[in-house]
Amino acid sequence: MLDIHYIRHNIDKIKKGASIKGFAVDLDLIIVLDDKKRELLYTIENIRAQRNQNAKALPKLTNTERADAIQKGKELKEALTKEEASLATIDAELKELLLYVPNPPLDGIPAGKDDRDNVEIKKWGHIPQFEFQPKSHDELGELLDIIDVNQSAKFAGSRTYILKNEGALLEHAVTRFAVDHILKKGFELFSIPVIVRDEAMIGTGFFPLGKEDTYTMEKDALYLIGTSEVSLVSYYSNEILDVKNLPKKSVTLSTCFRREAGTYGKDTKGLYRVHQFQKVEQVIICKNDINVSETMHTLLLQNSEEILQALGIPYRVALACGAETGLGQVKKNEIESWMPSRNAYAETHSCSSLHEFQARRSNIRYRDEEGKIHFVHTLNNTAIASPRILIPLLELNQNKDGSVNIPKVLQPYMNGISMIKKK
């Protein structure tokens, strides 16, 4: 959420940012409502002042004058009630509209319509050249008896999967390796709720726009998270932190859920786009300083790159264009890993800076060295997400007979298994 004062003084910048991101928002109506709110506040303060003046004068009045003053007091009370009701209505409408105002992207974010307009800024690794016809991850999964989508579809529907045997072990291995790598960087480990209230979703910017893609438990007014960022950020909601304790660096491994609304017919085969997945998420809460934010963004991105490099997965880093930069993000980098079955790089990681956006919505602040209160900056990044990361892991490490080599860094987490073989 953006500060209304910031909106009023930067309306052209925000309109331009909304256009770059592809969001439609009526900023002129917001200004009109804020003007009305200001007028009502002024009127209410005047009425309250008159009531106080009227009440103070009562003891000094004659009986006749007191009767007139009492009547005037009743009239002022009715007027105040009416104006306060109008203010509540205007304020509620204004707050609702403010939830849809996008955070303007940083200067230099490219315009674009979709991920094809993202700008590549880095590549790492070499694309392997197989001396045989490589199999896709779903073919390998069936051959090695480690992935089963048919049985899961029988009782859980489409976009579901079952990992079996070494497949399940491989998911545990890669997620645990990612957690351990991040912990070495001084991050604090959390185990978090995956079921949250709407204020957590609103506070982190996933509601109201993302509600269609969220699994809802209507009876309990609760929601399944699509990323543990929701819980890690909300942990600090309505808190005033000490600047001495910043930055707060946290990591968690959790199950996440997405309805994948609007993706009908897209990536229906295999493990690329599923409803339930495991994700190791990094979140940083830091000082309200653009330079500090940029340093933290680089750190988060570097952590993910180090994990991919240790796994030997070729990747590229791209700067997301405006249309791929979400409501609250001022900057987003995507990491795309090479997937032989797609003969292309495909997104596996997303690193985002949001500045004050989530902090204002979630009311997360800190007290600086001089005792002044500021909203924090928030950032997040995927360290690893499974089963999507299993696609390049399986496909890039396959042998001609369909067996799959396990990267050395994962073997200690695989009970010493160095190769998955056909049973």
The pLDDT value given to residue 63: 79
The pLDDT value given to residue 398: 98
Looking at the chain, the whole-number percentage of residues with pLDDT higher than 70 is: 99
Whether 87 and 131 map to the same domain: the answer is no
Question: Does residue 103 register a pLDDT over 90?
Answer: yes
The pLDDT value given to residue 54: 86
Report if residue 139 sits inside a domain: yes
CA dihedral of 32, 35, 41, 43, whole degrees rounded to 10: -100
How would residue 341 be classed by pLDDT, with cut points 50, 70 and 90? very high
- Residues 9-60: tens digit of each pLDDT: 999 999 999 999 999 999 999 999 999 999 999 999 999 999 899 888 888 8
Whether 83 and 131 map to the same domain: the answer is no
Residues annotated as part of the active site: 258, 273, 347, 350, 388
DSSP calls for 12-56: HHHHHHHHHHT----HHHHHHHHHHHHHHHHHHHHHHHHHHHHHH
Report if residue 81 sits inside a domain: yes
Choosing from 98, 131, 157, the residue where a domain stops is: 98
CATH number for 85: 1.10.287.40
Whether residue 178 contacts residue 280, with contact meaning beta carbons closer than 8 Å, is answered with: yes
Token pair of 112, please? 């674009």
- Residues 49-102: tens digit of each pLDDT: 998 998 888 888 887 888 888 888 899 999 999 999 999 999 999 999 999 999
Alpha carbon distances (Å) from 81 to 34, 74, 86, 93, 300: 20, 11, 9, 19, 51
Mean pLDDT of the chain: 95
- Residues 173-218: tens digit of each pLDDT: 999 999 999 999 999 999 999 999 999 999 999 999 999 999 999 9
Residue 75 neighbours by CB under 8 Å, 6+ apart: none
- Residues 218-242: tens digit of each pLDDT: 999 999 999 999 999 999 999 999 9
**Structural domain for 253, as ranges:** 115-420
How would residue 262 be classed by pLDDT, with cut points 50, 70 and 90? low
Whether 280 and 408 map to the same domain: the answer is yes
Whether 237 and 317 map to the same domain: the answer is yes
How would residue 268 be classed by pLDDT, with cut points 50, 70 and 90? low
Question: Does residue 311 register a pLDDT over 80?
Answer: yes
Whether 254 and 182 map to the same domain: the answer is yes
Token pair of 213, please? 């893609």
Average pLDDT in the 115-142 region?
95
If one counts the domains in the chain, the total is: 2
